C-alpha cells in the first residue's frame, strides 16, 4: 500500500517506482511471452548450445506448425469460454480417414489422380462435421462443452482405431502417395510448405478474430453471453462457428502430422492435448473467455516448443518434461485466475 502513497518516504535500496512500473508493464504486455522465449533461449544457451543452431531452429519451427494450427482453433473455443477436448480425436480420425482414401496399397482412390485432393477434402470435411456436431450439442442440448467434447473425444478416438482395422492388418495405414508425404519436407521459394499453411491459417484466424464481425461476436459471447444475446448477437450460431473452426484446424494439423509420419495412425496426436490447451493459456488467452488473440497463441506455442526442445536436447526424461510443462501451464492458469479475480472485484 505504501508504494501507492506518493507522500510515503522511499525505502532505502528499493527499486525506483519507474523501474517497477516498467517491469509490471512488461509483464502485462502482450509480448511478455515472446520476451520470455528470448530470455529462456538465452539462459539455456550455455547448457544447450545446439539450441542456437540453424538445424534446431528449423526443427523448432517445423515442430511448431501442426501444434500452432490446432492451438489456434482451440483459441476460438476458449475465447467463448468453452473448451474443445475432442481435437486430438479429430486429428486421429482425420488421419486414418485421409489415409484410407489415398493409400496406394488399398485406398478407396488408390493410384487415382484425385486420391490426394479427395483425401484432403475428406479430412477437412470430417473436422468440420465433428466440430459442428460439438457446437450443436453445446447450443441445442445446452450441454457443457467439457462433457460434450470429452464424449466426442472418446467416441472418435475409439472409432479411429476401429476404422483402421477395416483397412489394414497392421496398426496404421501406410503406403501414402509420395505427392502427399513430400508436403512435410517440401518448400516453396525456400519456405517449408507446412509453414506456409500455418501462416495462412494464422493470418486468416487473426483477421476473423480481430477484424471481423464474427470475431467481435465471439469476444462478446465469451465476455457475457446474456449481454450478447440482448445486443442481438446470434450466440448459438457463434458458438457453433467456433467449434467448427476448431474442428477444421484440427483436421489441417492432421494433414501435417500425417504427411510428416508418412502413415495414417489412429493414435496420431493422442498425447498432445496438454500442449494444445497449455500453449493457448500460456499465451494469455483467458480460460474465463472474452479475451484472447491469435498472436498470443503463436507466442504460447513458440514458448512451449522451445521449452520442449531444450529439455529433449538436455536428455531430460519425459516425465520431468511433463512435470515442468505442467508446472508452467498451471502457473499461467493461476495468473489468469488472479487477473480475472482482480478485474471482477474492480
Partner 1 sequence: MRANRREFTLGALTAIAAASGWSVAAKAADNKTIAVLFDGLYSEFWVAGLQIIRDDLKKRGFGIQEAISDKDDNKQFEQVRAAIAKKVDGIIIVQTDSNAVIPAIKAANKAKIPMVHFNRPPAKTDAFSVAIQADNQKIAREAVLYSCGVAKDSGKKHKAAILIGNLGDPNAIQRRDGFDEAVKQFPDNVEVVARIPTEWDADKAFAGLTNALQANPDISFVFTSSDFLLPQIIQSLKAANKWAPVGDEKHVILTGFDGFPSAYELMKDKYMDACGVQNLFFETTLAMQAILDLQAGKPVEKLLLDPGFAITQANIEAKKDEMWGYTLWKQKNG
Q: Which string of DSSP letters, residue by residue, matches 217-268?
A: HHHHHHH-HHHHHHTT--HHHHHHHHHHHHHHHHHHHHHHHHHHHTSB-TTT
Rounded CA gap, 101 and 209, in Å? Answer: 33
- Indicate which single residue of 19, 24, 204, 210 sits in contact with partner 1 (rule: CB under 8 A): 24
Q: Nearest to residue 196, comparing CAs of 53, 57, 296, 68?
A: 68
Nearer to partner 1, 92 or 225 (CB): 92
Shortest separation between residue 250's beta carbon and partner 1, angstroms? 14
| 284 to 323: interface string for partner 1, x by CB under 8 A | -----------------------xxxxxxxxxxxxxx---
Q: Is 335 in the site for partner 1 (CB under 8 A)?
A: yes
**Residue count, binding to partner 1 (CB under 8 A):** 59
Q: Which string of DSSP letters, residue by residue, matches 164-215?
A: HHTT-SSSSB----HHHHGGGT-EETTEEHHHHHHHHHHHHHHIIIIISHHH
Identify which range of 126-134, 137-145, 165-173, 215-223 contacts partner 1 by CB under 8 A.
165-173
Identify which range of 138-146, 152-160, 209-217, 326-334 contacts partner 1 by CB under 8 A.
326-334
Identify which range of 11-19, 116-124, 209-217, 267-275 contacts partner 1 by CB under 8 A.
267-275
Shortest separation between residue 227's beta carbon and partner 1, angstroms? 28
Q: Scanning the structure block, which residue is given the C-alpha cell 461476436?
A: 217
Rounded CA gap, 327 and 246, in Å? Answer: 26
Q: Is 274 in the site for partner 1 (CB under 8 A)?
A: no
CB within 8 Å of 149: residues ≥ 6 apart: 83, 84, 85, 86, 134
Nearer to partner 1, 103 or 225 (CB): 103
Rounded CA gap, 210 and 74, in Å? Answer: 16
Q: Which string of DSSP letters, residue by residue, matches 125-139?
A: HHHHHHHHHHHHHHH
- Indicate which single residue of 128, 196, 261, 287 sits in contact with partner 1 (rule: CB under 8 A): 261
Q: Is 170 in the site for partner 1 (CB under 8 A)?
A: yes
Q: Is 169 in the site for partner 1 (CB under 8 A)?
A: yes
Nearer to partner 1, 241 or 332 (CB): 332
| 4 to 23: interface string for partner 1, x by CB under 8 A | -------------------x
Rounded CA gap, 160 and 93, in Å? Answer: 5
Q: Is 61 in the site for partner 1 (CB under 8 A)?
A: no
Rounded CA gap, 263 and 22, in Å? Answer: 50
Are the C-beta atoms of residues 61 and 202 closer than 8 Å to each other?
no
Identify which range of 2-10, 78-86, 284-292, 332-340 contacts partner 1 by CB under 8 A.
332-340
Nearer to partner 1, 125 or 313 (CB): 313
Identify which range of 7-15, 28-36, 197-205, 236-244 contacts partner 1 by CB under 8 A.
28-36
DSSP symbol at 31? T
Cα radius of gyration (the chain): 22
Are the C-beta atoms of residues 79 and 209 closer than 8 Å to each other?
yes
Where do contacts with partner 1 occur on this chain (CB under 8 A)? Answer: 23-24, 27-28, 32, 36, 39-40, 43-44, 46-48, 50, 53, 55-56, 59, 63, 169-172, 174, 184, 257, 260-263, 265, 267-272, 307-320, 324, 327-328, 331, 334-335, 338-339
Amino acid at each position: 500500500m505504501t508504494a501507492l502513497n506518493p507522500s510515503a518516504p522511499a525505502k532505502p535500496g528499493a527499486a525506483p517506482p519507474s523501474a517497477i512500473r516498467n517491469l509490471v508493464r512488461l509483464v502485462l504486455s502482450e509480448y511478455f511471452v515472446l520476451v520470455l522465449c528470448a530470455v529462456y533461449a538465452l539462459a539455456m544457451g550455455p547448457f544447450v548450445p545446439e539450441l542456437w543452431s540453424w538445424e534446431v531452429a528449423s526443427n523448432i519451427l517445423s515442430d511448431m506448425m501442426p501444434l500452432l494450427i490446432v492451438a489456434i482453433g482451440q483459441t476460438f473455443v476458449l475465447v467463448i469460454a468453452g473448451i474443445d477436448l475432442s481435437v486430438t480425436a479429430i486429428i486421429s480420425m482425420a488421419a486414418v480417414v485421409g489415409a484410407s482414401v489415398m493409400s496406394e496399397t488399398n485406398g478407396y482412390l488408390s493410384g487415382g489422380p484425385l486420391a490426394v485432393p479427395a483425401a484432403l477434402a475428406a479430412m477437412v470435411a470430417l473436422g468440420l462435421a465433428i466440430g459442428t456436431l460439438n457446437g450443436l450439442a453445446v447450443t441445442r442440448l445446452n450441454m457443457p462443452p467439457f462433457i460434450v467434447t470429452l464424449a466426442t473425444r472418446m467416441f472418435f478416438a475409439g472409432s479411429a482405431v476401429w476404422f483402421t482395422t477395416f483397412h489394414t492388418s497392421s496398426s496404421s495405414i501406410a503406403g501414402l502417395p509420395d505427392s502427399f508425404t513430400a508436403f512435410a519436407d517440401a518448400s516453396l521459394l525456400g519456405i517449408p510448405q507446412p509453414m506456409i499453411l500455418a501462416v495462412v491459417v494464422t493470418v486468416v484466424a487473426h483477421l476473423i478474430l480481430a477484424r471481423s464481425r464474427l470475431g467481435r461476436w465471439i469476444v462478446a459471447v465469451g465476455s457475457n453471453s446474456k449481454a450478447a444475446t440482448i445486443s442481438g448477437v446470434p450466440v448459438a450460431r457463434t458458438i457453433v462457428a467456433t467449434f467448427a473452426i476448431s474442428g477444421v484446424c484440427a483436421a489441417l494439423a492432421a494433414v501435417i502430422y500425417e504427411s510428416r509420419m508418412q502413415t495414417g495412425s489412429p493414435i496420431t496426436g493422442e498425447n498432445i492435448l496438454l500442449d494444445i490447451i497449455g500453449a493457448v493459456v500460456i499465451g494469455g488467452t483467458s480460460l474465463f473467455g472474452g479475451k484472447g488473440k491469435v498472436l498470443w497463441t503463436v507466442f504460447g506455442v513458440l514458448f512451449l516448443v522451445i521449452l520442449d526442445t531444450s529439455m529433449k536436447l538436455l536428455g531430460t526424461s519425459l516425465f520431468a518434461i511433463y512435470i515442468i510443462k505442467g508446472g508452467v501451464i498451471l502457473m499461467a492458469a493461476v495468473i489468469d485466475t488472479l487477473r480475472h479475480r482482480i478485474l471482477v472485484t474492480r
